[in-house]
Structure 1
Amino acid sequence: MNAAFEYAIINRMKLKIVAMLLIITVAAGIAIAMGGKPKMPDTLYAVLETSKGEIVCQLYPKSAPMTVKNFMLLANGETEWTDPNSGDKVKKPLYNGTIFHRVIPDFMIQGGDPLGRGIGGPGYKFKDEIDETLDFSSPGMLAMANSGPNTNGSQFFITVAPTPWLKGKHTIFGRVVKGQEV
């Protein structure tokens, strides 16, 4: 067994979204009452709890609203997805108990596959949200893994080094603010 695979097995991940749901609910209620549309707050954080420690990511709801919403809904079990193990439609947290199945030194770590092999997802795909002001010029960027344009699902990656060749190919929806060393 190679070291990268052993590392991936050790790094089981439980994801929780740190957002003040009460504040979001109240803000959405006020917006609706005033005739507007509810919107996401400007600052959201995701905490990835791994066996190696926490990774805290700031999410970018303004740059990638659909991606952040999908990530939050899957993390909290608030949307239906197809379990690739059973084929059943489920409504439970997708990321709990998943692993970083792809670990490439000096490049990135990838997770979010309910199968843990890099071939699974939620049973649906959605469009890219490429923000030209964001790039991979520094480590710690949180982005959607994909198999080509508009094939986002549940898999994501975190860069561990600058990867400028990825710009425009993956939706960046956040960055690590604490725990990059994990």
Structure 2
Amino acid sequence: MVQATTCEYPGDGSPARPVDPPQTTDVPNAGTVAVTLHMTAGDVVITMDRAKAPCTINSFVSLAQQGYFDDTDCHRLVDQGIFILQCGDPTATGTGGPGYVMAEELEHTSEYPAGTVAMAKRQQPGTTGGQFFLVWADTPLPPEYTVFGTMDQAGLDVVGGIAAQGVAAEDGMSPIAEAHISSVTLG
């Protein structure tokens, strides 16, 4: 028997890159799926558990299959207090989204251990879109971000290597190292 759920993806402005919203019915909510971020610095494999965040994973997989993340730069690196590399905005400005939002699927944890992959959002609830962040060292954050996957050690090493080169002085947020995603593939 296939387990499935229903998701909602309300419209939210124009997409940063043309994409269709994901399916909303018969969304798998069991099993795992893996994606590989093919980055200039190396591959980052993310394993996602559909039981924990089925609607988020459905969206992420849909965007990956449509090439939404291809040829994009991770636009934000934080290396003080919290330790994240934020990606998923084709405009690399921090303001681009897929043209829809979704509700957060929360675990109510304030600990985001190294290797965690979670969705970014705006201040208000229900504003998760296409941006996500890779946690490269244990990070305390409020329990308001959807955790939807984990990186393997090789991926963590790639992200840690990018982070080790620091943040650009010009804007205090761009990674100095090239943090470019050439493509994202399933598996």
- Range of TM-score over shorter length: 0.5 to 0.7
Q: Check the 8 A contact 1:64/1:131 in 2, yes or no.
A: no
1:118-157, Cα deviation, whole Å (9 max, x unpaired): 110111111000023x653421110000112110110000
Establish whether residue 99 from structure 1 lines up as the match of residue 99 from structure 2: no
Structure 1 residues not aligned, in runs of 5+: 1-26, 32-36, 78-92
Match of 2:156, SS state, is: coil
Given the alignment of the two structures, is residue 130 of structure 1 paired with residue 119 of structure 2, yes or no? no
**3-state DSSP of counterpart to 2:113:** coil
TM-score with structure 2 length normalisation?
A: 0.65
Is structure 2 residue 118 aligned with structure 1 residue 143?
yes
Matched, 1:39 2:28: yes
Quick check: which has more Rg, 1 or 2?
A: 1
Structure 1 CA distance, aligned partners of 2:69 and 2:53?
19
- In structure 2, the residue corresponding to 1:74 is in which secondary structure? helix
TM-score, structure 1 as length reference: 0.66
- What is the percentage of aligned positions where both structures have the same residue? 34
- 2:155 aligned with 1:179, yes or no? yes
**Alpha carbons of 1:110 and 1:174: their partners in 2 closer, same or farther (altered >3 Å)?**
same
Say if 2:32 is the partner of 1:57. Answer: no
User: In the superposition, relative to structure 1, how do residues 98 and 38 fare at CA in structure 2: closer, same or farther (>3 Å)?
Assistant: closer
Structure 1 pair 137–124 and aligned structure 2 pair: CA distance change class (3 A): closer
Moved more, 94-103 or 39-48: 39-48
Paired residue for 1:72?
61
2:114 corresponds to which letter in structure 1?
P
- Partner AA of 1:54 in structure 2: D
Q: Comparing both structures, which one devotes a greater share of its residues to helix?
A: 1
Structure 1 residues 60, 167: closer, same or farther in 2, change over 3 A? Answer: farther
8 Å contact kept, 2:112–2:135: no
Higher RCO (CA-CA < 8 Å; seq separation 6+): 2
Distance of aligned partners of 1:38 and 1:169 in 2 relative to their CA distance in 1, 3 Å threshold: closer
| Structure 1 residue 161: Cα displacement | 1.4
**Corresponding residue to 1:158 among 103, 121, 134:** 134
Aligned equivalents of 2:118, 2:27: Cα separation in 1: 25
CA distance in 2, matches of 1:179, 1:68: 19
**Deviation per CA, 1:84-107, whole angstroms, max 9, x where unpaired?**
xxxxxxxxx100011110012251
Aligned equivalents of 2:144 and 2:112: distance in 1?
Answer: 14
